[in-house]
Amino acid sequence: MLQILLVDDERSVVETLAETIPWESCGISTVHEALSGAVALEIMENHDIDIVITDIRMPEMSGIDLITTIHEKWPHVQTILLSGFADFEYAKQAMAQESFDYLLKPVSDEDLIETVQRLVDRIKQKWETAASYQRALHAFQDNLPLLQSTMLHELLTGKTYSPSALADKLELLELPYSIGEELGMLVIRMEEHLSEMGDRDLSLMQYAISNIISEVMQHHFHIWHTRDVHDYLVVLVSVKKGALQNMNKEEKPQTLLEHYAAQIQTNVQLYLKGAISISVSHWGRFPYEIGAIYESAVRSMRKRMGQAQGLFITASDDKDVHPLPAIRSLYNPPTLISLLEAGRFDAVEQKIGVIFEELLESGQHHDIAETTIEVYHALAGAFAYIIHKNGKQVSSVLPTETYKYFQAPVYATAQQLKDWSIRTLYSISEDAEQELKDNHSTIVRSVKSFVDQHLASDVSLPAIADHVHLHPVYLSKVYKTETGEALTAYVYRLRMEKAAYYLRSSSSKVFEIAELVGYNNTAYFIRVFKKFYDLTPQEYRENLPV
C-alpha cells in the first residue's frame, strides 16, 4: 500500500483530513502530516512518500514552490493541490507543474476520496507496467549467471527441492542437467598471489579461470560453477549428449575429467601467472549425491594437500577412512540459529524433527552415541545463544527440570534428547511471545497517555511516534494489532468524546471547546463533530436531557 503526505499551515485542516478520510480503503497505508513546506521536504527525505496533498497559500513556501521542488527531487511522487481561492491562475500553475489535480477548499470528503482513488489506480497501473514481462525477462537474462551460481551454492549447502520444482528451476535457469544424471566435480583452490587478492580482484580471477575451464572442457562437458564459503571455485560437470560416442574406447568420463583438470592447472600457470590446486571428485548422481561429493573433495583438499600449493588430487588417490555419518540437517540452511533469530518457532520444531529422523536413521548402521553428543551440543548452543542475545539468562527462561539438562545432560536415548529440545523450544517461544505482549501493552499505554495530555496541541502520528521512539508505520501496526482500532481513529474518537463531554458539562462556547480538543478552525470542528454524532455541537447541546 501507498504513503501519503498532507501539508497545510492550519493544523486542524491536516488533522481533520488524517482522521476522517478512510485512507485504507483508498489504498493508503500510512498518513504523514506537515504544517509547512520545510517540514514536508524533511519528511520526504526520510520516508517513501507516494502522494502529496498540499495547500497553496502557506507562509515562507507556497504549495506551488513545494511541488516544484518535489517534482525536481522525486519525479515519481504525485501531487494534489488544495486552495480556498477559486483563481484560475493557480490552476494553470498546478497543471504546469504536472500536479494530478486541483481542488477548491473546503473540499468534500467524497471529492477528495474520488480524486485520491483515481490517483492510486494510476500509480498501481504504472508499477504494473514497470513490472511487465519484457522488463522482468531482460533483468533475468542479465542476472542469469549469478542465479545459476546461487542455485549451485544452495545445493552444495544442503538445500533440497521436490523433483518437479527442481526440474522447473533447471529449465528456467537454462541448466542442462537432469535428476539421476551422473556428475563429476572439480574443487579449485587458488594459491600464491592469487589467494591474496581483494574480493573484487578475486572474483575477476575466478571469472578468468572459469573461462579457461570452459575453453578446455566445452567439447565434452557441460560446466556449472560457483564460489563456496572457503573461496574455492566449485565446478560441476556432466557429459554432453553424443560426447561419449566420440570418445576413444580407452577414454572414460573420469579419466577425461582428470586429464582436463591437469590441463586447466597448466593453463592457469601459463596465462594467469598463478598456481591452483585441484581436487577431482568421484562421480555421483544429481542432485542427491552432490553434498557428499563436495564434502569428500573438500576433505581431500584439506587432508591430502594441507598448506602445500599447486597440487593435484583425484578420487582414486583418496584412500581416507570413511568418516562417521554427519547429521547434515543440523547444518543445512536455514540453520537453527537463523530460524530462532527470525522467531520462526514452528520452522525450528520442524527442523528438530528432521534432525532426529536423520539421527535415528544413522543409528541403523552406526553407533549413534557420538552423533547424539554432536546433536545435543548444536541444539544447546543455539538455544543458549538466542536466550543470551535476548538479554536473559538460561535459568530465567527455562523451567527448573529443563534447565537441569543444560547443567547435566543425559544421552540415554535420542527420544529423551528430542523431548528436551521441544520443551526448551516451547519455553523460549512462550517467553518471546510474553515479552512481545508486554512491550506492545507498554507502547499502547504510553500512546494513550500522550494523546490524552496533548489533545489540544500536536497529536499527529509523527509526534506520537517520536514520543515512543518508533517508526510511524510500525507504531500504527502495533496499535492496530493490540487494540483493533487504528491510531488515527482513536485520536478522532477521543477528540469527539471529549468535545461531547465539554458540551454536556460546561457552558463553554463551541469555538472554545474546539480549541480544547485541538481544532483551531471552528468550521472544521463542527463538520467532523456532525460526521461523528450526526448532530452539530449546538444541536447536541440542545438535545441534552434537562
Distance CA 131, CA 127 (A): 6
| Distance, C-alpha 473 to centroid of its chain | 16
Asked whether the beta carbons of 151 and 287 are under 8 A apart, the reply is no
Distance CA 82, CA 57 (A): 9
Omega of the bond prior to 399 within 30 degrees of 0, cis?
no
Distance CA 87, CA 423 (A): 72
Q: In the predicted model, what is the mean pLDDT of residues 530-538?
A: 93
Distance CA 232, CA 234 (A): 6
Distance CA 414, CA 344 (A): 24
**Paired residues of 195 in beta bridges:** none
pLDDT at residue 72 tops 80: yes
Q: What's the grid cell of residue 62? A: 507556497
Q: Tell me which of 138 and 441 has the higher pLDDT.
A: 441
Asked whether the beta carbons of 426 and 465 are under 8 A apart, the reply is no
pLDDT at residue 441 tops 70: yes
- Closest to 101 measured CA to CA, from 509, 498, 113, 3: 113
Would you call 334 exposed, middle or buried from its count of C-beta atoms within 10 A (0-12, 13-18, 19+)? middle
Q: Which amino acid makes up residue 96?
A: A
Asked whether the beta carbons of 82 and 53 are under 8 A apart, the reply is yes
Q: Tell me which of 437 and 364 has the higher pLDDT.
A: 437
User: Quick one: residue 306, left, alpha or beta (phi over 0 = left, psi -120 to 50 = alpha)?
Assistant: left
Degrees to nearest 5, angle at CA 377 with 372 and 382: 130
The position carrying cell 497553496 is 56
DSSP string, 196-254: GS-HHHHHHHHHHHHHHHHHHHTTTEEEEEEE-TTS-EEEEEEEPTTHHHHS-TT--HH
**Paired residues of 278 in beta bridges:** 188, 312
Q: What confidence score (pLDDT) does residue 544 get? A: 83
Question: Using alpha carbons only, how large is the chain's radius of gyration in Å?
Answer: 34
Asked whether the beta carbons of 181 and 167 are under 8 A apart, the reply is no
| Each residue's pLDDT tens digit, 459-482 | 888 889 889 998 888 888 899 989
pLDDT at residue 211 tops 70: yes
pLDDT bin (cut points 50, 70, 90) of residue 351 is very high
DSSP H or E stretch at residue 28: strand 28-34
| Each residue's pLDDT tens digit, 77-118 | 999 888 776 555 665 665 666 677 778 777 888 888 998 999
| Each residue's pLDDT tens digit, 226-267 | 998 888 999 999 998 877 666 665 568 888 898 999 999 999
DSSP class of 303: I
Distance CA 99, CA 62 (A): 14
Q: What confidence score (pLDDT) does residue 385 get? A: 94
Q: What confidence score (pLDDT) does residue 321 get? A: 47
Average pLDDT, the chain: 85
Would you call 86 exposed, middle or buried from its count of C-beta atoms within 10 A (0-12, 13-18, 19+)? exposed
- Closest to 112 measured CA to CA, from 120, 131, 9: 120
- Closest to 50 measured CA to CA, from 19, 21, 26, 16: 26
Q: What confidence score (pLDDT) does residue 520 get? A: 85
